[in-house]
Structure 1
């Protein structure tokens, strides 16, 4: 496993220490530095290759969201904050994850898994451990293997799917499955004419859209974010842009 360079940016020393401690338990994470503000971080990002950026939002001089917008070549950003109201802004920036303080080590690992999935090159859709998918795009269904069972999922029953670290959360009209497989591999099995990417972590069934409001798609009672990088293409696929 490749070593991932990490940068911690938080104006609270205790918060930096907690993330540093969490990173120390994972031998593939190497913390390059801990910074108290975005200007210090900018200097390091210009001189070091950073894979994962832990970024606090409420900081002096320039806040984390504004700082992220200035980055031309973004690492995988994991926002850390005590304020949940910033979540929508974070997802608009296609952040890898959003950790609400105080967060557990278990939740930290989930965020790291998401970052690792995005950093890994897309592999051919072979079996992923004991869980896999099999389909032909000409069919109107796919087969998913998880928890020792093989499930047949009709396209019209699939509501949406979400990247969850090394797993893909598949939500259907009748159940929710969590096969251990890369999100990109699952997406490859779905016909482009029926399914749309709204965010780097979400793909939806076009026929199941209830309505769109701002940067959110509503499917039943679930709100799904629309990332800035996907909004234009989404509107084109729905026929609102040429």
Structure 2
């Protein structure tokens, strides 16, 4: 297996040691450095290639989220923090995963596996380019027309009798298809079932409050049977 270079960024020495110990359990991970601040990490990233950064958020001088915003071509970022409230910001910045301290070795390995999956296809980018372009939209038949809808335009879908109400940035469509049929059309990594009657686009979440998700001023309930899986999918499970 290819060697993966990692950088640990955390102002707490104990936290750095724990991640270093976890890395030692995975022979393909090589710790390229351990930094106590974001500014120190910037220096390391300018000097060498790093594949994964384990990044604390709450640090002095510059926090982890501000640091990530300064990187033009960031490596895979796995946030490590004691604070849940930064999760939405983290995923807006396309973080690979979000580990809540204290996290187990098992949870750490899951996060590393996610980062590895994102790193692996890089070599096949040219081969897969055509396929990935075909995969970023779908066609929906509604009102006697066929609409091409980009995944990025989809906000959420709601079960509505024999129809599925699909809300996009431009339209509200009522295609004649079952809710489960719509669920099969969209990528599960991005579109999450959070209620028996609702599927949402994870990247369009504005904020989460209690048992509700807010997307462009629309309140969407989180079903009690879906809550645990939903929190896990956005990196907020313990």
Aligned residues: 163
Indicate the residue corresponding to 2:90 in structure 1: 90
In structure 1, the partner of 2:17 is 17
Q: Which among 170, 177, 180 is matched to residue 157 of structure 1?
A: 180
Paired residue for 2:206?
Answer: 214
Look at both structures and tell me which one has the larger radius of gyration over its CA atoms.
2
The alpha-carbon deviation at position 204 of structure 1 amounts to: 5.1
Structure 2 equivalent of residue 41 of structure 1: 41
Structure 1 residue aligned with 2:99: 99
The Cα shift of 1:156 comes to: 3.7
TM superposition score normalised by structure 2: 0.59
**3-state SS of paired residue (1:61):** coil
Gaps of at least 5 residues in structure 1 are 126-136, 138-153, 161-189, 226-242
Q: Which runs of 5+ in 2 are unaligned?
A: 129-137, 139-176, 208-213, 232-238
Deviation at 1:88, TM superposition (A): 1.1
**TM (normalized to structure 1)?**
0.58
* Contact 2:191 2:200 (C-alpha < 8 Å) held by counterparts: no
The structure whose residues are more often helix, as a share, is 2
Provide the alpha-carbon RMSD of the alignment.
Answer: 3.3
Task: Provide runs of 4+ in structure 1 moved above 4 Å.
Answer: 122-125, 207-213, 215-220, 222-225
Give a deviation string over 1:186-225, Cα, whole Å, max 9, x none.
Answer: xxxx6xxx4268xxx42358x9447976265547536879
Q: Quick one: structure 1 residues 31 and 156, their matched pair in 2 at CA, closer, same or farther if it must change by over 3 Å?
A: same
CA displacement 1:133-158 (0-9 Å, x = unmatched): xxxx9xxxxxxxxxxxxxxxx97426
How far apart are the structure 2 equivalents of 1:15 and 1:95?
Answer: 19
Instruction: Name the counterpart of 1:60.
Output: 60
